[in-house]
């Protein structure tokens, strides 16, 4: 007849008990570590395998093994699984390095129509060519193993992350010129508050937003219904009526937006916008424009029209190439697209143009004076 199971004395320091208590209450620790910490703390309070197991919903032998492990390796070490021997790895470090170097190439460079590798394609290529380069251990390579090897090397050859190469040799100089204009706007704002008279000037941040689609629905939108569906319901099919371009400039001193809606945004449309500004501002006001390097802004037609204006009437400051983010109007376009143009549906291009101009009019009812602060101190 088997003897009674003897209670094992489990000794642990207060520090160890405190760490176990934190783990036992944790919501982010692995479930096995939390369970084992609860077992050790429960056994410390009540040295009975059966009682602890019954309270925690575990078999008493599981509690016993956990306690015995704590006696042998320490209470904290008992929370983790012992390392298992497993099978010796068959893929050599050299084979892994070859696979990683292969992943750093493009799939098209190895005769495939794919631009980039997929893990499945990479595994197939490795199986077909590994023996020929002396890595026979990859002859039966599977997609899952490819993923593990690439993860270890922190390589993701199936993804593309875009970067922007600066192709303007005078980027810093042109950026400084734009920042100087913003600095001048700041000075003009302070002068306006102090009511000090100065030379009248307007600073306009200008750009075009092309390709605004006039899209019509083929069926009526269904409004939300409480308890039925919470959103507007819209037919997936739609009809295109073409696109429009929004030519807009925001006055950085007043926040007013000047805008035109046209089918295109060529030199003649840009000159038309300049004529709008010329009419809007008094003749003695100098108009400074911040704009990008679009061909319409530097065309012969544009230069010819500017030559007809009085000297000092218009002054153009160009953002550097790939530096359109320096233009404040871009933020206005983003907000306009996320509010007025979001999910917009119209019956015609004419209706789209009317709604865009109505949106501009609504903005001008409560104009927002934009302020540029990035690197502005450097332009002082």
Give 115-144 pLDDT, tens digit per residue: 999 999 999 999 999 999 999 999 999 999
* Pair 265, 372 in one domain: yes
- Bridge partners, residue 213, by sequence: 243
Give domain status of residue 319, yes or no: yes
Q: Which of 53, 79, 105 is the last residue of a domain?
A: 79
Name the least confident of 81-85, 253-257, 297-301.
81-85
Give domain status of residue 247, yes or no: yes
Q: Given a cut of 90, is residue 380 above it in pLDDT? A: no
Q: Give the percent of the chain with pLDDT over 90.
A: 70
> What average pLDDT does the segment 352-379 reach?
89
CATH of the domain at 183: 3.30.420.10
Q: What does the buried/exposed string (b/e) look like for 302-320 if buried means 16 or more CB atoms within 10 Å of the residue's CB?
A: beebeeeeeeebbeebbbb
Give domain status of residue 68, yes or no: yes
**Count of domains in the chain?**
3
* Residue 42 CB-density burial (10 A; 0-12 exposed, 13-18 middle, 19+ buried): buried
**Could you read off the pLDDT of 147-183 as tens digits, one per residue?**
999 999 999 999 999 887 777 888 888 898 999 999 9
Q: Given a cut of 70, is residue 331 above it in pLDDT? A: yes
- In this prediction, residue 379 carries a pLDDT of 61
- In this prediction, residue 5 carries a pLDDT of 55
Q: What is the mean pLDDT of the chain?
A: 90
CA 39 to chain centre: 45
- In this prediction, residue 278 carries a pLDDT of 96
* Pair 261, 335 in one domain: yes
* Pair 322, 243 in one domain: yes
Q: Given a cut of 60, is residue 4 above it in pLDDT? A: no
Name the least confident of 220-229, 245-254, 347-356.
220-229
Q: Given a cut of 90, is residue 241 above it in pLDDT? A: yes
183-187, 305-309, 376-380: which has the highest mean pLDDT? 305-309
- In this prediction, residue 86 carries a pLDDT of 73
* Pair 285, 220 in one domain: yes
* Pair 262, 349 in one domain: yes
| Residue 188, both tokens | 């003009």
- In this prediction, residue 3 carries a pLDDT of 43
Give domain status of residue 6, yes or no: no
Q: Given a cut of 50, is residue 1 above it in pLDDT? A: no
Q: Is the pTM of this model over 0.75?
A: no
Domain region containing 142: 93-152
Give domain status of residue 350, yes or no: yes
- The CA distance from 175 to 169, in Å, is 11
**Could you read off the pLDDT of 191-214 as tens digits, one per residue?**
877 777 678 899 999 999 999 999
> What average pLDDT does the segment 59-63 reach?
91
Give domain status of residue 176, yes or no: yes
* Pair 188, 326 in one domain: yes
* Pair 327, 281 in one domain: yes
* Pair 103, 71 in one domain: no
């Amino acid at each position: 007849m088997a003897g009674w199971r003897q209670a094992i004395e489990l000794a642990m320091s207060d520090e160890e008990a405190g760490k176990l208590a934190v783990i036992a209450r944790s919501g982010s620790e692995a479930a096995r570590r939390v369970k084992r910490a609860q077992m050790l703390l429960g056994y410390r309070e009540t040295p009975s395998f059966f009682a602890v197991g019954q309270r925690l919903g575990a078999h008493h032998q599981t509690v016993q093994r956990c306690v015995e492990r704590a006696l042998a390796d320490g209470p904290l070490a008992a929370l983790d699984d012992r390392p298992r021997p497993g099978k010796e790895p068959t893929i050599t470090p050299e084979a892994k390095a070859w696979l990683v170097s292969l992943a750093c190439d493009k799939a098209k460079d190895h005769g495939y129509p794919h631009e980039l590798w997929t893990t499945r394609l990479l595994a197939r290529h490795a199986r077909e060519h590994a023996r020929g380069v002396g890595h026979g251990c990859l002859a039966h390579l599977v997609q899952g193993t490819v993923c593990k090897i690439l993860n270890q090397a922190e390589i993701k050859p199936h993804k593309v992350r875009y970067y922007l190469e600066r192709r303007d040799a005078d980027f810093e100089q042109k950026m400084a010129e734009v920042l100087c204009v913003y600095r001048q706007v700041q000075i003009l704002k302070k002068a306006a508050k102090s009511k000090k008279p100065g030379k009248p000037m307007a600073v306009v941040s200008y750009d075009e937003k092309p390709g605004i689609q006039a899209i019509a629905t083929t069926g009526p939108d269904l409004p939300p219904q409480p308890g039925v569906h919470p959103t507007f319901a819209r037919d997936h099919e739609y009809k295109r009526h073409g696109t429009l371009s929004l030519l807009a400039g925001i006055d950085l001193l007043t926040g007013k937006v000047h805008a035109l809606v046209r089918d295109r945004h060529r030199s003649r449309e840009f000159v038309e916008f300049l004529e709008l500004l010329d009419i809007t501002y008094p003749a003695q006001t100098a108009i400074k424009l911040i704009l990008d390097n679009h061909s319409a802004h530097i065309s012969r037609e544009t230069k010819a029209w500017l030559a007809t204006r009085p000297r000092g009437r218009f002054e153009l400051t160009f953002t550097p190439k790939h530096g359109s983010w320096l233009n404040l109007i871009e933020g206005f376009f983003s907000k306009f697209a996320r509010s007025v143009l979001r999910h917009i549906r119209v019956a015609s291009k004419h209706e789209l143009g009317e709604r865009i101009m109505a949106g501009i009019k609504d903005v001008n009812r409560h104009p927002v004076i934009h302020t540029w602060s990035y690197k502005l101190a450097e332009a002082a």
